[in-house]
Amino acid sequence: MPKLTLYHATPSRSSVTRWMLEEIGEPYDVHLVSLSKGDNRAPDYLAVNPMGKVPALKHGDVIITESGAICTYLADEFPRAKLNVPIGDPRRGPYLKWLFFGPSCIEPAMMDRAFPRKEEARRAALGYGDFDTVMDVVAKAVSKGPFILGEQFTAADVVIGSGLRFGMMFKLLPERPEFTAYVGRLAQRPALQRVDEKDKELAAA
C-alpha cells in the first residue's frame, strides 16, 4: 500500500487533515514543518507545496494540498471507513456542498471579519455573501444532527466541524448554541481526542 505522509504543524489547519487521517484509521507518518523557523518557505518544502503552507499530504507519489481536498481525497480513497458519500447516492450533492462551503464561505467570512478591508466590498462581489447569512446557514445545517448529513459522520463534518471549533476557540465565530452542541458531539469522537492529545504533545516538545 502506498505510504501516507502528512506535512504537519501545530497549531494549524493541518490538524484538520490529521483528524481525517485518524478517522480513516490507516497508518501514516508525520513530517513536522516548523512555521516559526520558516521550514514552509524552504525550497525542499516549496517543492511539496509551492504555496508554502501546511497541510500537504503525500500518498505514494501523489501530493495533495488544501485541507478540504485532502479530506475529500482520503474519504474517497479509503471507502471502508465510510466517511464519504459515493457517486450515485443523492446525498453526494449536499456532501460536496459542505466540503466546499467550509473553505470557500466559512473561512473567508471569518477572516474578512477578523481582518476587515479598508473599503467594504459589495455583498454580490463576495463568494460567501455576508457573514451573518453564512452563520445562519451553517447553524441551521448543524442544528438537527447528530451530523451535518444526519446520522452518518462524513468528511464534511471534519471540514465544517474543524472550522467551527477553530473559529470559536479563537473567538472569531459566535458561540451559537447550535455550534457548541455540534462541536460538543464531535468532541466525543475518539479520533479527534487522539489528535488533540498528539498535537498537545507536539506543541509541548
Ligand X SMILES: N[C@@H](CCC(=O)N[C@@H](CS)C(=O)NCC(=O)O)C(=O)O
| List of residues contacting ligand X (CB under 6 A) | 12-13, 35, 40, 52-55, 66-67, 103
User: For residues 13 and 23, which CB has a smaller minimum distance to ligand X in the complex?
Assistant: 13
User: For residues 98 and 178, which CB has a smaller minimum distance to ligand X in the complex?
Assistant: 98
Shortest separation between residue 123's beta carbon and ligand X, angstroms:
23
Shortest separation between residue 86's beta carbon and ligand X, angstroms:
24
CB-based closest residue to ligand X = 53
Q: State yes or no: cis peptide before 103, omega within 30 of 0.
A: no
Shortest separation between residue 118's beta carbon and ligand X, angstroms:
22
How far is residue 84's CA from residue 72's CA, in Å, rounded to a whole number? 7
CB 72 within 8 A of CB 99: yes
| CB neighbourhood size of 198 (10 A) | 16
Shortest separation between residue 40's beta carbon and ligand X, angstroms:
5
Which of 51, 35, 64, 63 has the alpha carbon at shortest distance from 202? 35
User: For residues 48 and 83, which CB has a smaller minimum distance to ligand X in the complex?
Assistant: 48
User: For residues 40 and 154, which CB has a smaller minimum distance to ligand X in the complex?
Assistant: 40
Outline where DSSP puts E strands in 119-169: none
How far is residue 43's CA from residue 27's CA, in Å, rounded to a whole number? 27
